[in-house]
Amino acid sequence: MQNLTYQYDTGSTIKKSSGLHQLMLAHQSELAEVNNIPCFFWGNLTEPYTTAKCWSTIAKVVRSSFSPIPPSLRDPIVSAGAERLRFEGFSSCNGVYVRLDMQPEAIDGEFIASGTTNVDFNDPMLNALNAIQKNERVTLAVGQKEMQVITSKTKVIEKKVTLPTRWIKGLTSVQLYLVDMEQKFEIPKIQAIQLFQSLPRGVLKGDFFVSKRAGKFMFAPVPTPDSVRIGGVQRLRLLEGLLPLLDNIMVYESADRETCAFVCELGKMQLLMAFSPDNNRGFSGEGKVLENLTQNVPIEWIYGLNALLKSNEIFSPTLLSIEQDIDLGTMDQLTAGLSSIGLLGYDVAANNHFYRRLPFKTERILSLNPRLKNAKKLIDNDEVQFVQNTLGYIEALVKGSGVQHKVVIEADQQRCTCDWYTKYQGKRGICKHVLAVRMKREAGE
């Protein structure tokens, strides 16, 4: 599928009158039913300066790139509902994920509708955000509450945005990493500032690890048993602007020690920044979702959930299984499946999933993964042959380019002779050949 292009009818604006900043975030979704909602939220920011700094940090992330992919403007998405606002975005290279969780105390206003949508972060708006000072008052509207009076001075500028598919793929993948993470450190403000001061300048090759030594947090090039690995350590600089404002930082790491997340506690808000294993690896290309996509989530579930849950509402598998009379045993798989198509986000600090339907068509999300698409093609073309298919051991031959690949699935190992498996040895998701074998097996063929 091609990159998604959408167009805002109007740009986000910020106006100041009688000492009050009025920020209106223009929104846009690929889903007509979301697009038709004029306004999701309207109210006051209780911490305008901190909020503005967090938004600036999000803008910095979505405009940055740490791989050869050139940085380009991407807008974040916002989920409104359950008395919270959540802003999410990715760097252009998809290696850095940022999410601002604005808790109920951070906003004082009315949730007119629930949903998730793209919001316009344009230059003039960001300039105006930069001007917000500590003691000022700011109102926020996600969407237009009222029709704007268009004068010759406020000429409407339509803005076109092209979202690459990897950006959307990142949104469907990142929660699968977050759910796998555990808290390793809690770093108080002063120590966090000192840690960031010791962050090596310039671009450094190789891994760096945050570890605690003699009560001090520090970066080291060698791991220790309790250290946290940070791939592409200079990406942490994206957080520097928030250091004077935060209370503390919590550091999380995935079980495989590849990915990590820094959660900045900012009073009534939390800003999470997750980092892919390295600069040249994005959350979109890791194939994590593939493990869960071999079984399709029934489409009625997607629509059903939207009726049951509001955006940002906690997704409790146990409660849902009781309320909806679903077998509890299938809930884990269902949770993973729903995460893989972006219906669930994950809050590492609260240790729970939350519901949000990405502002993209489900067909688009399902068609994103080329490995999945190619695996389906292998099955459709009857290019998967089982040599042995018994409980606990599967051996199959799968057609490759000019060669036959051998796939062996046994115990916890899924091995293949293809380039992908050779290069990553299973560390970056399963290859299309293993995927095809699994899909064919699950289909009972």
Residues in contact with another protein by the rule CB under 8 A: 56, 60, 70, 72, 123-124, 127, 130-131, 133-135, 155, 157, 190, 193-194, 197, 200, 202, 204-206, 213-216, 219-222, 240-241, 243-244, 395, 400, 402-406, 408, 415, 417-419, 421-423, 425
Q: How far is the CB of 385 from another protein (least distance, A)?
A: 13
Q: Count Cβ atoms below 10 Å from residue 151 Cβ, excluding itself.
A: 7
Residues 6+ apart with CB under 8 A from 113: 37, 39, 40, 80
Residues 6+ apart with CB under 8 A from 420: 428, 431, 432
Q: How far is the CB of 328 from another protein (least distance, A)?
A: 37
13 three-class SS = strand
H/E element holding 304? helix 299-308
Cβ proximity to another protein, 59 vs 297, nearer residue:
59
Q: How far is the CB of 245 from another protein (least distance, A)?
A: 8
Cβ proximity to another protein, 315 vs 421, nearer residue:
421
What phi and psi, each to the nearest 5 degrees, are found at residue 109?
A: -175, -160
Q: How far is the CB of 9 from another protein (least distance, A)?
A: 15
**Tokens of residue 177, six digits:** 């990493």
Structural contact between residues 290 and 429, judged by C-beta atoms closer than 8 angstroms: yes
Q: Residue 116 forms beta bridges with which residues?
A: 79
From 286, 257, 262, select the one nearest 272 (Cα to Cα). 262
The size of the chain, in residues, is 445
Cβ proximity to another protein, 174 vs 192, nearer residue:
192
Q: How far is the CB of 407 from another protein (least distance, A)?
A: 11
The maximal CA–CA distance of the chain, rounded, in angstroms, is 77
Q: How far is the CB of 131 from another protein (least distance, A)?
A: 6
Cβ proximity to another protein, 221 vs 304, nearer residue:
221
Q: How far is the CB of 416 from another protein (least distance, A)?
A: 8
Cβ proximity to another protein, 124 vs 304, nearer residue:
124
Q: How far is the CB of 28 from another protein (least distance, A)?
A: 18
How far lies 75's CA from each of 200, 241, 253, 389, in Å? 30, 20, 27, 47
Cα separation of 71 and 326, whole Å? 45
Structural contact between residues 74 and 266, judged by C-beta atoms closer than 8 angstroms: no
Cβ proximity to another protein, 149 vs 222, nearer residue:
222
Cβ proximity to another protein, 184 vs 415, nearer residue:
415
Cβ proximity to another protein, 199 vs 308, nearer residue:
199
From 440, 302, 444, 285, select the one nearest 362 (Cα to Cα). 302
Amino acid occupying residue 271:
L
